[in-house]
Amino acid sequence: MFVRGRRLRKKESIRNLVEETTISVNDLIFPIFLIDGKNKTEDIPSMPGVQRKTLDLHFHDINQAIKLGINAVILFPVIPKNKKNKKATEAINKNGLLPLSIKKIKKEFPELVIISDIALDPFNSDGHDGLVYKNEVLNDKTVDILCKQAIIHAQSGVDIVAPSDMMDGRVLKIRQKLDSKGFHDISIMSYAAKFASSLYGPFRDALNSSPKKGDKKTYQINPANSREAIKEILYDEAEGADMLIVKPASFYLDVIKEARDLSLLPIVAYQVSGEYSMIRTAADKGYLDLNDVMHESLLSIKRAGADMIITYFALEYAKLIRKN
């Protein structure tokens, strides 16, 4: 048979009709790096175009994001070195940067979905997502603190908590703790399949949160393992997660696809800092077209089956598609 596939590509209007995947502003989650104080911005050398900012300056961006139709932000606090310690106590400070920021954002933008990252690495002088004792990252003791952290965020007005630590059993424990305190309506967006990826480097620069010793391979998943990733996805669903994150996105499109096929929950893909920086830097050098590659990268992630994408391109991409 001689098939004329080109009939469906003959002109733009036909191509539009048969287009299978689209991205809308509804799919975008906007990540924010928070610093303490007022009217301050700091560049992040390994993430050109992304800045750490004080909340007052983020308000401007959030306002713009909402006007463009973005529904959600995810918050990452940058904690000064003198507030980090081995017990990560700043993680459960009710008056810490994150809880106070959640409160202020909620007050100013009550309709916005606020997502907070649950993990200890921004607060831990060891730079790990859990407490370190004799070179071991402790599971159950870490989970106890993560539960407290989740409650403080809930009390501050967060809509969704996103545990990114990869400790075992934390989704179940956080769900039980939230429910026991009456926070039945706070969702858990679990970083279920989080790989021990080399693509988080720029994020760790942004937060000054690189592990002081060793790597994260005893808790994050081996990049070689997709079955294990699916196991984590299914267990987090069973433990009570409301949404599941696959992270990073582009190098793990097979995992996104399989997660989409095997779970009925919304699948979130995190296009991480390294993915962002690779595209941004190549574009800055003039090797690639920023808008085209940004679009194609997000499209591939949606095509693989993601319902939502956490991306540092959120604001820029929203501007791009709103213009067209």
Q: Which residues bind ligand PBG (CB under 6 A)?
A: 117, 119, 121, 129, 164-165, 200, 203-204, 216, 272-273
Dist. CA 33–CA 47, nearest whole Å: 12
Nearest to 239 by CA among 257, 269, 265: 265
Give whichever of 204 and 257 is closer to ligand PBG, judged by the CB atom. 204
Residues 48, 281 contacting (CB under 8 angstroms): yes
Give whichever of 140 and 261 is closer to ligand PBG, judged by the CB atom. 140
| Distance spanning both ends of the chain, measured CA to CA | 39
Compute φ and ψ for 3, nearest 5 degrees. -100, 125
Give whichever of 278 and 282 is closer to ligand PBG, judged by the CB atom. 278
Q: What's the min distance (Å) between Cβ of 141 and ligand PBG?
A: 17
Helix (H) or strand (E) holding 28: strand 28-35
Ranked by CB distance to ligand PBG, the top (closest) residue is 203
Dist. CA 117–CA 114, nearest whole Å: 10
Q: Is there a catalytic annotation at residue 194?
A: yes
Task: Show Cβ contacts of residue 36 under 8 Å, excluding neighbours closer than 6 positions.
Answer: 54, 80, 97
Q: What's the min distance (Å) between Cβ of 17 and ligand PBG?
A: 36
Dist. CA 199–CA 192, nearest whole Å: 17
Q: Which of 53, 177, 247, 302 is catalytic?
A: 247
Give whichever of 87 and 181 is closer to ligand PBG, judged by the CB atom. 87
Q: Which of 84, 194, 216, 302 is catalytic?
A: 194
Q: What's the min distance (Å) between Cβ of 98 and ligand PBG?
A: 13
Give whichever of 183 and 203 is closer to ligand PBG, judged by the CB atom. 203
Q: What's the min distance (Å) between Cβ of 114 and ligand PBG?
A: 16
> DSSP for 107-157?
HH-TTSEEEEEE-STTTBTT-SSS-EETTEE-SHHHHHHHHHHHHHHHHHT
Q: What's the min distance (Å) between Cβ of 25 and ligand PBG?
A: 20
DSSP, collapsed to helix, strand or coil, labels residue 55 as helix
DSSP, collapsed to helix, strand or coil, labels residue 49 as coil
Catalytic residues: 194, 247
